[in-house]
Structure formats: C-alpha cells, structure tokens
Amino acid sequence: MISRFVRAAIAVAALSTTASAQFSSDFPGVPRGAISSRGGTQARTEWTFTGNKIPGATAAGDSAGGGIRVGIGRSYRIADQFELGYDFTLLDVNVQMPPTAPAGAPKSSTYLRGNAAYAFKIGAKMRPYSSIDQDGNGIEASFGVAYQPTLQTLYGYATNGDSSHTGGQFASTTTGTSPALYKGNPFASVRSTLVLAGMGSYRSKRFNADAAITNETVGSAGSSADPSPVTSYNGLALRLGGTYRLTRGFAVGASYWGSGAPPWRDDIRVDVAGKSKATNYALLLQFGAEAEGGTDLMVSSPTGNFGQSIRIYLRTRTTR
C-alpha cells in the first residue's frame, strides 16, 4: 500500500514540474476539496457573455459593447486520492461600438477583436482526508498546484474602421490607417501563472459548501509595451461558495473569489471608458439533480455597476 502511494506521488510530482492541474469545482471560481466519486471524471463546458453601456458626455452619447467566451475542461480521478485535469479557452470575441458622434464631428468605427485557442492549463490535486458516506455527503480536504504556461493565441483578428490586424502563432499582418483601440500587441502571449491551493468541501442532502485559499504567482512574460491581453492575478485569495437545494433539481447560492482570478480568468481585456473594479462575487443558480453535475448560472458586473454592465456565466458539469 505504501509503495503504491509513493509511486503515485512520484508520478504526480513529475507531471507537476512542467504543468499542474486546473482544479475541478462545483461552484464557479472556487476549487473544491472533493474529487469525483462517480465514474472518475468531471467534464466542464463554460460560456461567458458580457455586455456594457457606458454613459458618455451628453453630446457624445453612450458607448455599448459585448463579448462571448467559450472554454472546456476535464478532471480525471486517479486511484483513490489523486486528480489530474485541464482547462482550455477555445474562443473569445469582443465588440465595442463607439458613442454617437456630435453633428459635424468625424464618426468612429465599431471595434471587433477575437482570439482562438489559448490559455491552456493542466496538472494535479491530492486529497489526503475524506470522511464521506456512500452518497458523497461529508467532509473532504485536498491540496494542489495549478499552472498556466506562457502561450500565445493560435489565431487572432482585430478590426477598426479600415484597419485590420491578424496575429497568433503563425503570422502577423496589419493593414489600414484607422487608430487601434488596443495597447501593444492584441495577441501577445498570456502570462504564465502558478497557483497553489488548499481546499475543503462539505456536502449534505440540502447544503453544499466549498472553501479554498489560493496563492497565484504570475510569470515575467509580457511588458508595459507589449502587455498580456489577459488580466493577471497575483497573491493570496480566499474563495468561498455554497448552495442550498430548494428542490431536487434546483439550488440557490453564491460564489466569492476575493482578489483571485474569477471563473472567466482568461477572457480578453476590453478597455471601456469609465470602467471601475469588477465585482468579486456573484449570485449562483444551479439546475440539475445529479450530484457533482448540472448547470451553473451566475450573474455579475464587469465594471462593478449593474446599471452599466452585466456578465452572465453559464457552465455545464457532467460526471462519467
């Protein structure tokens, strides 16, 4: 038994030297202490929709915009106490419409930007403590390490007026004379990030809760002249999530990620006039009767003002 444990630990450590795991979760933004008890895997598909309408000067009118991001992930249970997993952003598209120009003033153009296939994360988690019944109710605790390597988007495209910019892993071209709305290279590499986490989970028939402390360390890739297109998160963060099941297939709750990365950590930044700090919490609705599976729906604000902007995060979780 001890030798099996040692071999498994060595295997996990070897994987973690180059890449470590994105953690499975039941509450968006909060890694869970539990590992899958059904079928050995948790698959995730996530969609993030954003919209904003930022008030401008009376003569200039309002600026409106929005975006969509699509990501996938999966975590695998290894033996009894380990978990390996990954998460990957497939697509991120943003559009920003300019304010109405005053009479006689030159009109601005709509800005469109999209990135495909970037922000890949893999790694491991270990669960040293578990006290649960056959239905999965009880307490579990685990620790893990997550790593996101420096990775440039596979393909990116941006356009504003008569100008366009393509870039990514294979080529970079720029045409036209319209001013860009981005700073530096809009397809610069995502910065590498190392995350260490301690996690705990509590499950009962009606109430579920997760808590985690994460420490995120950002790599040195990128610069002020050529910044990463994705917001970087650095330092300690407390994360909390919980739901209360009202019916067999419906639960209400909330998710909180403090100063750490939100569930949509890899969405492309959009510089919006008047933008302030985004909310670090969200109302959570969960649909589905399957333990460890279901659909998560969260609502938050990218600017901290629900009257100006809204973000809808939709995720499905399945176990096999």
Task: State mean pLDDT over 72-82.
Answer: 89
- Of 88, 30, 83, 72, whose CA–CA distance to 286 is shortest? 30
Quickly state the pLDDT bin for 264 (edges 50, 70, 90).
Answer: confident
Tokens 């953690």 -> residue: 23
Buried b or exposed e, range 64-78, using 16+ CB within 10 angstroms: bbbbbbebebbbbbb
**Mean pLDDT, to the nearest integer, of 44-66?**
72
Give the pLDDT confidence of 145-203 residue by residue, as tens digits: 998 888 888 888 888 877 888 888 877 777 766 666 555 566 777 788 899 999 999 99
φ and ψ of 185, to 5 deg:
-85, 120
Measured distance CA(43)–CA(55) in Å, rounded: 40
- pLDDT score recorded for residue 109: 74
Q: Which class for 234: exposed (0-12), middle (13-18), buried (19 or more C-beta within 10 A)?
A: middle
Q: What percent of the chain has pLDDT over 90?
A: 23
* Mean of the per-residue pLDDT values of the chain: 79
pLDDT in tens, 289-302: 887 788 999 988 87
Tokens of 282: 């969200």
d(CA 318, CA 320): 7
pLDDT at 259 over 60: yes
